[in-house]
Structure 1
Amino acid sequence: MLLVNDHLLKQAWPGFVTGKLSDVAGLVAAPALLALLFWRRADLVATVLTGALFAAVKTTETGAELASQAWTLVAGPSRVLADPTDLLALPALALAWWVRRRTLHHPASARWRIIVTMPLAVLAVTATGAAAPPLSAEAVEVDGSRIHVHTNLGSGMTSADGGRTWTDTTDDEDARGQSAQCVPHQATRCYQVLKDRLGVEQSDDSGNTWRTVWAPSGDELERLTRQHDDASALRSLSLAVQPQEGGHIVVVANGVDGITVRDTSDTWRRVGWPGAEPAEVDLGSERSVALFLAACMVFGAAGAGLRQFTVLYTGFAMAACLGLLLLFSADSVFGLMSFLEPPFSLFGLLAGLSCGVVCLVLAIVGRARPLPAAVGVLAAPLVYLGAYLPFEGWSRGAPGSYGVAVAVAVLATGLVVLASAAVIRNDARRASSYFAGSSTSSPT
């Protein structure tokens, strides 16, 4: 029931019944699964614990957030929402207990049945934790002085002042948006959305020729793509034109990016989702590179002060840095193959830690000079900040160009590395002159 409901019925008939059906089926299956975690038979404990956890998740934001994180570890990116109305499914625990009582005096099931059934049961339960579809602006309609934007989740937004302010509403009917429309009482001026991407075209000759009047720049589109998991959902779907005093306005439904408004002064403005915080720009790859460079700074500076085992230390240091890079970038490298991410992350962690321990031992045995090691430890945070902060600024619009962020990161990181190398080189010269002088001095 869980598998069929989550993967078929919810998509075909979303609503109260299919939503609660998953809760009922999950509460029947969960106690039997939870009981397997105990060393001895503990059916009552498992049933009561299932009910308590379910109530905590559905009635508290903290419980819902913890459940979201747990489901994400088990089944990939997931979002569990607190909904007290789901407590209506709690009587299903009585059905689970009745099943337990019915089977209590039956012969034990064959082991092969358990082996075959358990993976299906776990898959079915984790299916209920799948992430909800992202909010998407699907259609725009004009009703007199009001503009309605409809979403895919049965909600909407309404503006009564030409798109300057918006209020949340509930959709009671199917949206009937259109992808093109001409200005009322001005048939020569028309607008249409671009196909399969964000943007709007305008025609001033009743649709004979078209030109793009609004579309995000390359850097804006890159930021938007990193804000949303599904880049294909970034496209303009519908628009509506509303006459206003002194001109007209255009409101565009842009899928997961929300809405865009053209005011009477012919200025286009991305509104997004009014009143909501914009999604964070994914800087995982840039963060991974910054951490990798910081690790290289620590190991490289310490290795520059070694008196022995330089070659051996260099090999293990490279292995440690590469292992850490694999750990840091596992999500971005294996994002399309999420089942590979946990083992590669674990491998990177073990490789980085083990090789790092070997490097520490070699640094001690090889009598590494303390100043280069101290320079590496102090310079590593500066390397990380120099390599990462320009991209953090780019994600917020300053600098506006990704290429400028790359140039600033390279310059800042290079300055830190050069300054550290100068200090380490000066220390090496002093050490060389000291040992040279010691070898020619007379014993006292």
Structure 2
Amino acid sequence: MVVAANGNDGIAVRDARGAWRRLGFSDEGFSADTAIPLRSPDIDLTTEYLVGLFAGLLALMAGLSAARRNRPQVSALSVTAYVLALIGFAVSVSYRSSLVAPLLILFALACALTAVVLTVAAAVRARVSVRAALTLAAIVACTSSSICWIFSGWVSGTPDDYSTAVLSAWLAGGAGVAASVMVGWTDGRNAPGGPAA
């Protein structure tokens, strides 16, 4: 018999015939019933998908803010968008499965949608170029979809560890925000009235 530590998943046990069993943690010790299924379609990734959505929203807002950095006045549209995005993100990561969970998710999505509309309106008023706006839209789509793809892959076993999936999602989100800021910064520099290159 072979017993192998299996991280947060518990232990893996191989019997004399060579068959492996996974045993998860329980109050009474190790149990096969508490082992998390490797490929379970029942794992709820709603929070992870919402985080991916708000990561894309952050990339959009950061890029458009960088594009309009030469305007000294504070945009009420942008401030409101940031506040709504913060509220929606807080709701999306703090809700628990309950009878009101669908309403909280809808509220978070409504905050995100309203923040997008206000951010785009502020960008139009600041005369952000169409090219920069389309590039930012592509970056936002790639950022959100990559984070969702990472966690969907974790459910299928790649990556096999949740902490690895979280780290990968952080890297994807950070790369998306950095790329958006770079695009916005370049657009702001090339905009009329911007600093000379």
TM-score, normalising length: structure 2? 0.67
Q: 2:134 aligns with which of 374, 384, 394?
A: 374
1:387 and 1:310, CA in 2 relative to 1: closer, same or farther beyond 3 A?
farther
What stretches of structure 1 of length at least 5 have no aligned partner? 1-201, 203-212, 222-259, 438-444
| Deviations 1:370-394 (CA, angstroms, capped at 9, x unpaired) | 3432232110121113333333322
Distance change in 2, residues 1:305/1:422 (3 Å): closer
Per-residue CA deviation, residues 328-353 of structure 1 (Å, 9 max, x unaligned), is x27x6132xx2433443454344444
Percent identity between the two aligned chains: 27
Matches within 5 A, 1:37-436: 214=3, 217-220=6-9, 263-269=15-21, 278-306=40-68, 308=71, 309-325=73-89, 329=92, 333-335=95-97, 338-431=98-191
Q: Which structure has the highest helix share of the two?
A: 2
Q: Which structure would you say has the larger Rg?
A: 1
Per-residue CA distance 1:43-102 (angstroms, 9 max, x = gap): xxxxxxxxxxxxxxxxxxxxxxxxxxxxxxxxxxxxxxxxxxxxxxxxxxxxxxxxxxxx
How far is 1:219 from its partner? 4.5
The one-letter amino acid of 2:57's match is: A
Cα gap change, 1:326/1:346 in structure 2, threshold over 3 Å: closer, same or farther? farther
Give, in whole Å, the separation in 1 of the partners of 2:191 and 2:104: 42
Name the one with the larger strand percent: 1
Quick one: structure 1 residues 215 and 286, their matched pair in 2 at CA, closer, same or farther if it must change by over 3 Å?
A: farther
Distance 2:117 2:180 in 1: 23
RMSD of Structure 2 on Structure 1 (CA): 3.6
Report the AA paired with residue 284 of structure 1.
T
Contact 2:57–2:116 (CA under 8 A) maintained in structure 1: no
Instruction: Give the letter aligned to residue 76 of structure 2.
Output: L
Equivalents in 2 of 1:351, 1:283: separation in Å? 20
Q: CA–CA distance in 2 between the matches of 1:361 and 1:298?
A: 13
Report the Cα offset of residue 292 of structure 1.
Answer: 0.8
Aligned AA (2:190)? R
- Structure 1 residues 347 and 286 mapped into 2: Cα distance closer, same or farther (>3 Å)? closer
Distance 1:278 1:344 in 2: 25
CA contact (8 A) 1:292 1:321 kept: yes
Kept after mapping to 2: 8 A contact 1:324/1:349: yes
Distance 1:311 1:301, change over 3 A: same
Question: Which structure is higher in RCO with an 8 Å CA cutoff and minimum separation 6?
Answer: 2
With over 3 angstroms needed to count, the CA separation of the structure-2 counterparts of 1:288 and 1:311, relative to structure 1, is same
TM-score, length basis structure 1: 0.34
* Structure 2 Cα separation of the partners of residues 265 and 416 of structure 1: 49
Aligned pairs, number: 179
For 2:144, what is the secondary structure of its paired residue? helix
